[in-house]
A = this chain, B = another copy of it.
């Protein structure tokens, strides 16, 4: 029943997203011993203008 939410920067290709959910599902199944069908993953793409670290948005220039 694991439910997984992944916040990531937008801009990955459909192929990369496909691989991402495949490899994470496999990692969860191998570790928890649950069925693949029980693994639910939501990808939440976040714009760089909406994610900040250290008080600075990732859309701003960094040194």
Contacts and interface: CB of A to CB of B under 8 A. Distances in A.
Interface of A: 1-9, 12, 14, 16-28, 30-32, 35-37, 39-46, 49-60
B14 A24 contact: no
A39 B54 contact: yes
A50 B45 contact: yes
A28 B37 CA distance: 20
A3 B1 contact: no
Contacts of A20: 27-28, 31-32
B46 A42 contact: yes
Nearest to A7: B3
A52 B26 contact: no
